Chain A
Amino acid sequence: MNKIVDVVVVGGGVIGCSVAYCLAKKGVRVIVVEKKEGLSFGASGANQGGCPLQLFESPVLELARESLKLYKNLSEEIGYDIEYENVGSLVCSVDEKQFSDMKKHVQNKRREGINVRLIEGHQLRKLEPTLGEDIVVGVEEWDSWMVNPFKVNYGFAYAARKLGTEFLFSSQVKKIETDKERIASVITDREKIKTNFLVNAAGAWAPEIGKMLGLTIPVRARRGQIIVTEPVPLNERWRYILDADYLTTAFDLAAVEKSKDPRIKLGVAGSYIQEKSGNWTIGSSRDFAGYNNRVTMQTLKYIAKRVIKFVPRLKDISCIRTFAGLRPFCYIDGLPILSKINNPQNFVIATGHAGEGMTLAPITGKLISELITESRTSLSIDAFSFSRFKNIT
């Protein structure tokens, strides 16, 4: 089957659907090709839906702030409730040695204009009795939010469809035809699509698209595992609880390499979100296992051990499901890649969001659509340009 369209977006995750929607809003004809029989089969379908504003730093922080503004009106705009909830976030530490890191964190955030508050352990427990005795100190921040990741993904797709976007499922890109430094058409299992632009939003599989163009896209699949519990009554104050390790070792590849602690080696750092249905999603972990998205008992053991320190009552609650997802992680600097490239000129990369895809989806869609249809983007994306990877083959 032959088709002609303005833009082909590869990937039916939250980034792909957001890009499609923002383009469709501008009147662009878009086809989204997704290799699975449905949306959300990558990281978009395996995340907790939490957006912790206080864990972002420049240059991504600016994007996150814009994303928050867009999220606040998103349900109304697309005509579908994405279950946006302003739950705030509490980063807390079970290690006295992290006290200084926490104080520094508060200073940094205040300087960036984020409203944070340091609260000592005993006060925390008074406000939220479910928190554990081991917690020394916490930093709360009230702009953080959570959404229903599936509803965001399908919501964008639904709105895009209403504006004329076509979705092709079970369509894996097999070949990309170029002509004089431009992409001419995309060939999948079943279609050949002539297009003016190709957006690579394939997440953990983005490098495979790059390979078809002789490009190395420095993204690797970083697995994260999650435990889902049975529903329990909602916490009073904080339903989004994070491990202070996120400020220290979780994202520090060098520290993970050096460490002798098996928990840190598996990248286990607490990320606990209680959905409004009452279920807790208990995460999370970071390890590289190729495209293997199965859970491992070792990692689950350390995730479980960690959560009992933070919310001890959860030890008597049942785990009803576990799953793992593959985050697209840029192994050069951990920042997203939102960029055109030199050759082909009409190839746009929109990936590398790692664990921040859900937070940054609305703004990514907006920026990428501007990159394609206008001369400049409303926010600077120089920090996310592909040209920063100078010496990789």
Chain B
Amino acid sequence: MICRCEEITEQEIRDAIRKFDLRTVDEVKRLTRAGMGLCQGRTCTPLLTKIIAEETNKKVSELLPLSKRPPVRPIKIEFLTTEE
């Protein structure tokens, strides 16, 4: 189990990478849902990066990192309404 939040297995991820010629963590996230769960990739991103590096024969440092967006941690919608 790579992505614990969305329950995505390593095999699913490798299959997606091979089938669609994926090269970035963002793409893997979009197609497998790994990294879309509650923790937003905090737990699985290092694992995903390593798998992609293996499958595409690149070094981890050569891969584009996962795109990070606000919020830094989950906040209630209610709090967004009071944001100044």
In the complex they form, whether A and B have CB atoms below 8 Å apart is answered with: yes
Interface residues, chain A, with chain B CB atoms under 8 Å away: 37-40, 45, 150-151, 154, 157-158, 161, 167, 169, 227, 229-231, 277, 279, 282, 295, 297, 300-301, 303-305, 307-308, 314-323
| Beta-carbon contact of A322 and B70 below 8 Å | yes
Alpha-carbon gap, A243 to B54, bound state (A): 46
Residue of B nearest to A149 (CB): B30
For residue B74, which residues in chain A have a CB less than 8 angstroms away from its CB? 230, 318-320
Give the docked Cα–Cα distance between A151 and B74 (Å): 26
Q: Kindly identify which residue among A40, A227, A295 contacts B27, using a CB–CB cutoff of 8 Å.
A: A40
Digitize B1-39: 1 where CB-to-A-CB distance is under 8 Å, 0 elsewhere. Answer: 000001000000000000111111011001101001110
Interface: B45 (CB within 8 A)? no
Residues of chain A lying within 8 A (CB to CB) of residue B24: 37-38
- Whether A38 contacts B27 in the complex (CB less than 8 A), given A157-B20, A317-B77, comes out as yes
Specify which chain A residues have a CB less than 8 angstroms from the CB of B38 in the assembled complex: 230-231, 320
**Shortest distance between the CB of A352 and any CB in chain B (Å):** 24
Which residues of chain A come closer than 8 Å to B6, judged between CB atoms? Answer: 277
The smallest C-beta distance from B57 to any residue of chain A, in angstroms, reads 15
CA distance A167 to B27 in the complex (A): 15
Known: A38-B27, A157-B20, A282-B77. 17 other contacts (CB 8 A): A40-B27, A40-B30, A154-B31, A161-B21, A167-B21, A229-B77, A277-B36, A295-B69, A297-B83, A301-B83, A316-B76, A318-B77, A319-B80, A321-B69, A321-B70, A321-B71, A322-B71
Chain B: interface size category: 20 to 34
CA distance A132 to B82 in the complex (A): 20
CB of B64 within 8 A of chain A? yes
Nearest-neighbor residue (CB-CB) of B5 within chain A: A231
**What 8 pairs across the A-B complex have the smallest Cβ distances?**
A318-B74, A304-B80, A150-B30, A315-B78, A304-B81, A38-B27, A305-B81, A320-B74
- Closest A residue to B30 by CB, please name it: A150
Give the residue among A38, A154, A305 with the most B Cβ atoms within 10 A.
A38
Q: Chain B: interface secondary structure? A: loop
Whole-angstrom CA separation of A277 from B84 in the bound complex: 31
List the A side residues contacting B21 at CB < 8 Å. Answer: 161, 167
Whether A300 lies near B30 (C-beta < 8 A) is: no
* CB closest residue in chain B, given A314: B77
A158 and B69 contacting across the interface, CB-CB below 8 Å: no
Residue from B20, B22, B76 in contact with A317 in the complex, judged by beta carbons closer than 8 Å: B76
A150, B31: Cβ atoms under 8 Å? Answer: yes
- Cβ-based interface call for B40 (8 A): yes
| B71 lies within 8 A of A316 (CB) | no
Give Cα distance in the complex from A169 to B64, angstroms: 13
Q: Kindly identify which residue among B20, B31, B83 contacts A300, using a CB–CB cutoff of 8 Å.
A: B83
Least distance between A92 CB and chain B CB atoms (Å) = 19
A151–B71 touching, CB < 8 Å: no
A315 near B23: Cβ-Cβ < 8 Å: no
Which residues on the B side are within 8 Å of A169 (C-beta)? 23
16 A-B residue pairings within 8 Å (CB atoms): A37-B24, A38-B23, A38-B24, A39-B27, A157-B20, A227-B77, A227-B80, A231-B37, A282-B77, A304-B78, A315-B76, A316-B78, A318-B75, A319-B80, A320-B40, A322-B69
B:36-84 near A, CB below 8 Å: 36-38, 40, 64, 69-71, 74-78, 80-84
| Chain B residues near A277 (CB-CB < 8 A) | 6, 33, 36
The residue on A at minimum CB distance from B80 is A304
Q: Give the complex CA separation of A318 and B39 in angstroms.
A: 12
CA distance A38 to B77 in the complex (A): 32
Q: How far is the CA of A320 from the CA of B70 in the complex (A)?
A: 8
Contact A45 B30 (CB under 8 A): yes
Contact B26 A38 (CB under 8 A): yes
Least distance between A48 CB and chain B CB atoms (Å): 14
CB distance from A313 to the nearest CB of B (A): 10
The answer on a CB contact under 8 Å between B77 and A307 is yes
C-alpha spacing A45/B82, complex, angstroms: 29
Q: Which residues of A contact B83 (CB under 8 A)?
A: 297, 300-301
Contacts of B76 in A (CB 8 A): 315-319
A316 — nearest CB in chain B belongs to which residue? B76
| Whole-angstrom distance between the Cβ of A34 and the nearest chain B Cβ | 11
Which residues of the partner chain B approach A314 to less than 8 Å between Cβ atoms? 77
